């Protein structure tokens, strides 16, 4: 049946071995070119038996215009397009003219062929194999680069996929915003991104798993963050050297740097984490050790209803969020100050938990004390992973 169908097609169209074999791509193994050669060989044996002349491969294919003969030239074009880019894995895509794809489908429909594959699929595969042999690079479903090839013009479009890096940062000084702000010379993001941009030759985008205020330090195990390096020219970078350069700033430290995937990056940024805080509470009307301990006792396990704080209402949706304080411990300092160590759900605003924010946070430390209280100083001690936060609470 294959030989009969091939004979019908070749009576109507002059096809190369690639295009002939591709009509029956879903049958058997091997390349389409090998398949086409085999079909043509068997067909010509049948024709010879009947005294008919052979159907030779045409000098010019009516469907693809011998585009597969251009693969060596296109491999060189791809190498030129990527000469300044460091990569180990790649994929190939192609843009074929609509008239070629439409003519191919018309042949399938005319002869009722259901075993074919599209020309671009075979072309991408064969060009990818040739490029891999020429460069020693490997194909991958998550490649470093993607080549988009226009087979007839020879034009190559190079897509450089981002590089993703996971880490945690400590902010050692107050007065540094997490991301760039016109009122500040530096930010956590700029201190971290600067050496990464130099090392990769790409654009560094910083994404933190939550954020702390400008006047709040981030200590302990550090806050998780993701760097997305767009269009990196160099991917083989030394993360330990970069970490040493960042840590030498004395302002920000990075921990646990490693390469990661887009999927893990998304999980890191979307997973809520409990936080451990240390707050210095000011009570101008005075506070006793017993009052401080009683506040901590009442806070532990307490559900907090917090309307978007007044100070961030323009940047955040105005709604009531329900969060929990999982643990609270007090240490009295003097007749106007005590420290609160807290473990809370992520997204709870601690300054407002203490002040009450004019009734927008209920209950608050001020409510529990029965007199106004303010957060005079705040540190994030740890960003807790779920399993650790369960233990801590």
CATH number of the structural domain spanning residue 230: 3.30.70.2510
pLDDT tens readout for residues 194-225: 999 999 999 999 999 999 999 999 999 999 99
| One domain for residues 256 and 312 | no
* 376 inside domain: yes
Averaged pLDDT for residues 351-368: 97
| One domain for residues 6 and 153 | yes
| One domain for residues 330 and 218 | no
**pLDDT for residue 388:** 39
* 261 inside domain: yes
pLDDT at residue 392 greater than cutoff 90: no
pLDDT at residue 389 greater than cutoff 60: no
* 61 inside domain: yes
- Cα 346 from Cα 351, distance rounded (Å): 14
Show the DSSP H helices in 228-339 as ranges. Answer: 239-247, 262-270, 289-299
Contacts of 378 (CB under 8 A, 6+ apart): 213, 215, 216, 277, 278, 279, 280, 350, 351
- Residue in 84, 138, 213, 345 annotated catalytic: 213
* 393 inside domain: no
| One domain for residues 287 and 377 | yes
* 325 inside domain: yes
Q: Are 332 and 287 in contact (CB under 8 A)?
A: yes
pLDDT band at 316; cut points 50, 70, 90: confident
pLDDT at residue 391 greater than cutoff 70: no
- Cα 132 from Cα 155, distance rounded (Å): 19
| One domain for residues 207 and 92 | no
Structure-block tokens of residue 129: 């194999």
pLDDT band at 386; cut points 50, 70, 90: low
Residue 35: strand, helix, or coil: helix
What mean pLDDT value characterizes the chain?
95
Range of the domain at 228: 163-270
| One domain for residues 338 and 350 | yes
pLDDT band at 57; cut points 50, 70, 90: very high
| One domain for residues 111 and 22 | yes
Which of 102, 129, 160 lies at the terminal end of a domain, its last residue? 160
What b-and-e string marks burial along 111-133, b requiring 16 or more CB atoms within 10 Å of the CB?
bebeebbbbbebbbebbbebbbe
Averaged pLDDT for residues 95-99: 97
**pLDDT for residue 335:** 97
Averaged pLDDT for residues 380-387: 80
Is 13 annotated for ligand binding?
no
- Cα 165 from Cα 204, distance rounded (Å): 10
Averaged pLDDT for residues 336-351: 97
**pLDDT for residue 15:** 98
* 390 inside domain: no
Structure-block tokens of residue 319: 């709604």
| One domain for residues 22 and 151 | yes
| One domain for residues 110 and 47 | yes
Dihedral angle computed from the Cα positions of residues 165, 144, 79 and 31, in that order, rounded to the nearest 10 degrees: 160
> Strand 145-149 vs strand 89-94: parallel, antiparallel, or unpaired?
parallel
- Cα 209 from Cα 264, distance rounded (Å): 12
Maximal C-alpha separation, the chain = 114
Is 277 annotated for ligand binding?
yes
* 350 inside domain: yes
Which of 113, 129, 160 lies at the terminal end of a domain, its last residue? 160
CATH of the domain at 307: 3.30.70.3190
pLDDT band at 280; cut points 50, 70, 90: very high
pLDDT at residue 7 greater than cutoff 70: yes
**pLDDT for residue 393:** 29
Q: How many domains does the chain have?
A: 3
| One domain for residues 22 and 117 | yes
Query: Which residue's structure tokens are 């301990």?
Result: 293
| One domain for residues 154 and 215 | no
- Cα 347 from Cα 168, distance rounded (Å): 18
Which of 106, 130, 160 lies at the terminal end of a domain, its last residue? 160
Query: Which residue's structure tokens are 């599209």?
Result: 118
pLDDT tens readout for residues 143-157: 999 999 999 999 999
* 389 inside domain: no
| One domain for residues 32 and 131 | yes
pLDDT at residue 323 greater than cutoff 90: yes
Averaged pLDDT for residues 265-283: 96
pLDDT band at 317; cut points 50, 70, 90: confident
pLDDT tens readout for residues 158-175: 999 999 999 999 999 999
pLDDT at residue 303 greater than cutoff 70: yes
Backbone angles phi, psi at 259, to 5 degrees: -75, 150
DSSP summary character for residue 281: E
* 213 catalytically annotated: yes
């Amino acid at each position: 049946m294959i030989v009969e169908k091939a004979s019908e097609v070749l009576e109507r169209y002059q096809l190369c071995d690639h295009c002939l074999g591709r009509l029956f791509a879903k049958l058997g193994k091997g390349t389409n070119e090998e398949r086409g050669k085999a079909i043509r060989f068997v067909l010509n044996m049948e024709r010879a038996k009947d005294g008919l002349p052979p159907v030779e491969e045409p000098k010019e294919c009516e469907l693809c215009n011998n585009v597969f003969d251009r693969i060596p030239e296109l491999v060189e074009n791809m190498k030129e397009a990527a000469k300044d880019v460091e990569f180990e894995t790649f994929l190939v895509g192609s843009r074929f003219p609509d008239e070629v794809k439409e003519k191919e489908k018309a042949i399938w429909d005319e002869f009722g062929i259901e075993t074919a594959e599209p020309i671009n699929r075979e072309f991408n595969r064969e060009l990818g194999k040739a490029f891999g042999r020429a460069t020693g690079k490997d194909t991958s479903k998550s490649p470093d680069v993607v080549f988009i090839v226009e087979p007839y013009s020879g034009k190559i479009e190079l897509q450089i996929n981002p590089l993703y890096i996971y880490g945690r940062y400590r902010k050692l000084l107050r007065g540094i915003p997490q991301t760039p702000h016109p009122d500040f010379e530096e930010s956590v993001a700029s201190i971290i991104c600067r050496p990464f941009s130099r090392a990769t030759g790409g654009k560094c985008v910083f994404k933190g798993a939550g954020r702390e205020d400008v006047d709040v330090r981030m200590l302990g195990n550090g806050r998780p963050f993701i760097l997305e390096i767009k269009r990196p020219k160099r991917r083989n970078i030394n993360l330990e050297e970069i970490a040493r350069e960042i840590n030498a700033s004395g302002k920000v430290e990075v921990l646990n740097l490693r390469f990661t995937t887009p999927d893990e990056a998304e999980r890191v940024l979307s997973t809520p984490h409990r936080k451990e805080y240390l707050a210095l509470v000011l009570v101008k009307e005075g506070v006793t050790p017993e009052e401080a301990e009683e506040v901590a006792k009442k806070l532990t396990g307490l559900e907090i209803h917090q309307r978007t704080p007044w100070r961030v209402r323009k940047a955040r949706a105005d709604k009531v969020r329900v969060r929990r304080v999982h643990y609270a411990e007090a240490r009295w300092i003097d007749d106007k100050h005590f420290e609160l160590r807290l473990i809370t759900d992520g997204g709870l605003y601690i300054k407002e938990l203490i002040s009450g924010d004019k009734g927008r946070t209920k209950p608050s430390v001020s409510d529990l004390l029965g007199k106004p209280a303010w957060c005079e100083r705040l540190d994030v001690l740890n960003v807790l992973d779920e399993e650790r936060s369960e233990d801590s609470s």
